[in-house]
Amino acid sequence: MFVRKNYPGKGISKQILSKKEEWVRLLNLREPVLETGNKQAEAIGFYEKYGFTRTQNYGPYIGGENSICIIK
């Protein structure tokens, strides 16, 4: 996910993340797991700010040197 640079500080990223977490609940899934790139410091910081922590890479990201998987 990304928000265009001309929309900073409007809470759009948080709204998107909240909607994803709502889908997890509606689908009766255990927890949200997301993937981002290891050079995406802003994204990693954003997810950590909202309670996500790093976890082992899953599925297509196993062995991916540039992938970081996070879980809540």
State pLDDT tens for residues 1-16: 777 888 878 888 899 8
Q: What gap in Å lies between CA 3 and CA 1, rounded to an integer?
A: 7
Q: What gap in Å lies between CA 41 and CA 12, rounded to an integer?
A: 18
Structure tokens at 24: 């997890």
For range 53-70, the mean pLDDT? 95
- Over the chain, what is the mean pLDDT? 91
**pLDDT at residue number 8:** 78
